[in-house]
Amino acid sequence: MTQIRLIVTVALFFLLFDNYSFYENVLKVYPLNETGIFHLVSVALLLFTFTIFLFTLFSSKYTTKPLLIMTLLVSSFTTYFMSSYHVVIDSTMIRNTLQTDMHESLDLLSVKLFLYILFLGLLPSIWVYRKNIEYLSLKVELFRKVKTLFLTLLVMVLLLLGSSKFFTSFFREHIPLRYHTNPTFWIYSIGEYIASTVQTETIVVKSMGLNATIPPSTDTTPNLVIMVVGEASRADHFSLNGYEKETNPLLKKEHIINLPNVSSCGTSTAHSVPCMFSFFDRDDFNYKKGISYENVLDVIHHTKKVEILWRDNNSDSKGVALRVPYADYKQPSINSYCPEGECRDKGMLIGLQEYINKKEGKNILIVLHQMGNHGPSYYKRYTKEFEKFTPVCKTNQLEECTQESISNAYDNAILYSDYFLSEVIQLLKENENNHKTSMIYMSDHGESLGEHGLYLHGLPYFMAPEAQTHIGAFMWFGKSNQRDFNSQKAYSHDNLVHTLLGLFNVKTKLYKEELDILR
């Protein structure tokens, strides 16, 4: 077999077995009638020829087999997640994947995933590896390569010109469809990820707010603020927001100031967490800015009048807490509340009162990063006594469960968060005599639970449903620190940094009063 024939065979394999998600989404836009069949065949042929062109461009005696094998193996993973959870593999999803720890990865393992890897990855890779490739002289191989590139390019041009009206609409009005092509889009996304991530020079973090101060005040009572970063909590599953199931029975007994109209900065933890603590708003924020500039924790730290602590029961702080005290509470050696092998958010409260006592007379900011509603194994996010809503989906194969059972498992996890957050409030109440106490809760993003066939989160923001961007959020204030403001107004993660600065009365040019929720 020549290497060109091998490339054509593998490209045909991708076309037939790795693009179910792509065809499914194309058929949603172009129904399967006579015209729809023509459109489907046209885009399939264009994808087929482009895949051949791409592999041929990088083919050689030493690269063809490794390139095809690597692409087959990676595509078996992407096909599984695109088909099962209806996610897309863009640069943000790649960053999410690379920042996922072993504990989160184990949640995604399943027999179905193994079968995808076996039949779409390992077996065809073994076939490619064992295939004998006929290599002739350099001149002949170069001629074959140029001829293949020319012919595939010619076919693509003829397709585009022959159906120019259709393809103009396809590329301009239905941009999200190309996000589902396999392997071309994830290959493109890797290139985009590298371009947006890889630094050609050493990163020098730019200081911000070095002159930030907290002026003296006649009120010498120190502030104690606990900021809770939620995980995958969507607003419409909070009974505080009118959800029919009672998911916030404990919080409703507290003097909560609910924020029903808050939108996230992104649709993934890797993007939203650094963004929500950044001084760049959602439209201006990107990964490089996140790692190249100090954030609000740094600015508050510059005042030298606030003790800061970050405790994490999620993957990590995504770079936010690199320059402040940090503790990983996913470790059983630190978190003593880890029943059934799952370290609970409640464990982050262990020893917190002792920490506050040691900082007597000082302003304190504590950030607690929850495991919260991390999917797809929602049933693992709570203990048995919180399994109020049944039946429950008890597998990470969400597409095999009914939407009701998925929602029940998710809601039970919110019920556990309700308990955890009420415990945070009780801790603050115990310190009201010595501090002005406050609590802010904001989730990092929302979650899709099977609506329109979508699961989890991470879709590009412009095409993400409201379920992934409309987040749970509220505030609580102690008796000596009551606030009054328009809680019904539309807010976003962009408001958080300025609200934190306002709570501590930090004076800096970075502060924007109009973005402070409390002003």
- Where is 491: in which H helix or E strand? strand 491-492
Mean pLDDT of 282-300: 95
For residue 224, pLDDT over 90 is answered with yes
Do the beta carbons of residue 501 and residue 299 sit within 8 Å? yes
Strands 436-443 and 473-477, by their bridges, are antiparallel
What does pLDDT average to over the chain? 94
Q: Give residue-wise pLDDT tens across range 312-337.
A: 999 899 999 999 999 999 989 999 99
CA distance 388 to 413: 10
| Domain boundaries, given as residue ranges, for the chain | 3-197, 226-515
Within 13 Å, how many C-alpha atoms sit on residue 441's CB side? 29
pLDDT in the model for residue 307 = 98
For residue 221, pLDDT over 90 is answered with yes
Q: Burial-class residue 170 by CB neighbours within 10 Å (0-12, 13-18, 19+).
A: buried
Confidence of residue 33 (pLDDT cuts 50, 70, 90): confident
Output the CATH code of domain 226-515: 3.40.720.10
Strand order of the β-sheet with 306-312 is: 256-258, 473-477, 436-443, 223-230, 363-369, 306-312, 326-328
Backbone phi and psi for residue 495, each to the nearest 5 degrees, phi listed first:
-80, -15
**pTM to 2 decimals?**
0.90
CA distance 228 to 236: 19
Q: Give residue-wise pLDDT tens across range 340-395.
A: 889 999 999 999 999 999 999 999 999 999 999 999 999 999 999 999 999 999 99
The fraction of the chain above a pLDDT of 90, given in percent, is 84
What one-character DSSP code corresponds to residue 368?
Answer: E
pLDDT in the model for residue 280 = 97
Confidence of residue 146 (pLDDT cuts 50, 70, 90): very high
Do the beta carbons of residue 367 and residue 321 sit within 8 Å? yes
Report which of 174, 353, 199 is spatially closest to residue 289, judged by C-alpha positions. 199
Alpha helices in 198-295 (DSSP H): 269-276, 287-292
Confidence of residue 200 (pLDDT cuts 50, 70, 90): low
pLDDT in the model for residue 382 = 95
Do the beta carbons of residue 371 and residue 104 sit within 8 Å? no
